[in-house]
Amino acid sequence: MLKDKNILIGITGGIAAYKICGLIRLFKKNGANVKVTATPNALNFVTELTLSTLSQEQIYTEQFNTKDRKPEHIALCDWADVFVIAPASANTIGKIANGLCDNLLTSLACAFQKQLFVAPAMNTGMYNNIAVQKNIETLKITGVKIIEPDTGFLACGTNGVGRLAEIDRIYKCIEDYFQQNSVLKGKKIVVTAGGTKENIDPVRYIGNYSSGKMGTAIADAAAAYGADVTLIKTFPLNRSYRTVDVKSAQEMFHAVSDEFLQKNADILVMTAAVADYKPEICENLKIKKENNDELTIKLVKNPDILQEMCKKKNASQQIIGFCAESNNLLEYAKEKIQKKGCDYLIANDISSKDTGFSSDYNEVYVIDKNLKTTKIDKDTKQNIAMKIMELLYGKN
């Protein structure tokens, strides 16, 4: 699984830094290419000569020490398939969680758009500190994989949580990632995300509260599973995979038709909250308030993108719909999957304050065409998306 993979290792200042020598050897032994970036404090615990000898590469510590005029934090990001920060100190975790870039390693973490792994290692008191736990939670929400520390004897002479995860466990996490990354290799997946906006006039529109977070998480998960992803979205977002910007339901309909039907994609995931209705007439000029106490706008139906795609898809194509309800969730979801004709429907309750629109968390039910229902308990939207991929397509 690791043969010819490019693995970037980031080492921060902590006594566990010496253990990473074993991780480098393990990666190299199994065919991976390894490059190492280290903070200045990390080199107090393990020498640059040792790291360069084991990796058979130069060690990167300076952000702008480059001969080809391409800053190291960009060149290394382009090169690496994954970035593993181990050990990750409380200081570095805090910087990454808050977007601080005061050295090469933190700049790399900020610029890296592929999978980032962080293996914390520190004193128990530091690890349990509320601020540190908040920073770790922030990283989880943004899609960073946290390799949880072990409990055991620490360098400070105490026993507790904070010990760097065993090297074999860190290695297994990376190996599992690459194995997972091959599951949907060669498959084209189209994902829609965000809420559509239907113009009333040049300054007003009808919209909804969808943030696009769940759809983005689904697209990220599909990419992590090795798929060729196209994300059709209604909001600004930068990703390494292809994205298409739309605004209205009609624009999304045309984009989905092109990307899924015309280009014959394998899977369509309709996560977007598409407006059911739009103003019959969109005024060219701003509607003036005048002295009217009422304004009547006639609404007409938008195309039902999910239903239309289900009608037009071929036998080899698969469609996954999403259903957001504020009551009678499963009843309405089961009615919807039968009416629309999709292969799977993901249902979530938007009335819940901690899992509704704009939340970083979700709780969903996955329903198949035979109405078999599987619940995925509350988790971050990133983890929910990965669990959906695992449930539908497996690990192997």
Q: Please list the active-site residues.
A: 156
Residue 117 host element (H or E): strand 115-120
Helices vs. strands in the chain: H and E counts, helices first: 13, 20
For the record, the structure tokens of 167 come out as 């090297």
What are the Cα distances from residue 328, in Å, to 331, 336, 337?
Answer: 5, 12, 14
- How big is the chain, counted in residues? 396
Quote the CA–CA distance of 240 and 229 in Å, as a whole number. 10
Residue with tokens 């991976």: 32
Question: Is residue 110 left, alpha or beta, with left meaning phi > 0 and alpha meaning psi from -120 to 50?
Answer: alpha
Cβ-in-10-Å burial (0-12, 13-18, 19+) of 368 comes to middle
Find the Cα–Cα–Cα–Cα dihedral 309, 312, 318, 321, rounded to 10°.
20
With beta carbons less than 8 A apart as the criterion, state whether 93 and 132 touch: yes
For the record, the structure tokens of 154 come out as 């620490």
User: Please, where are the H alpha helices in 60-129?
Assistant: 72-79, 90-97, 104-111, 124-128
* DSSP collapsed to 3 states, 11-74: ECCCHHHHHHHHHHHHHHHCCCEEEEEECCCHHHCCCHHHHHHHHCCCEECCCCCCCCCCCHHH
Listed residue (198, 195, 197) closest to 210, CA to CA: 195
In our burial notation (b when 16+ CB lie closer than 10 A, e otherwise), range 181-198 reads bebbeebbbbbbbbbbbb
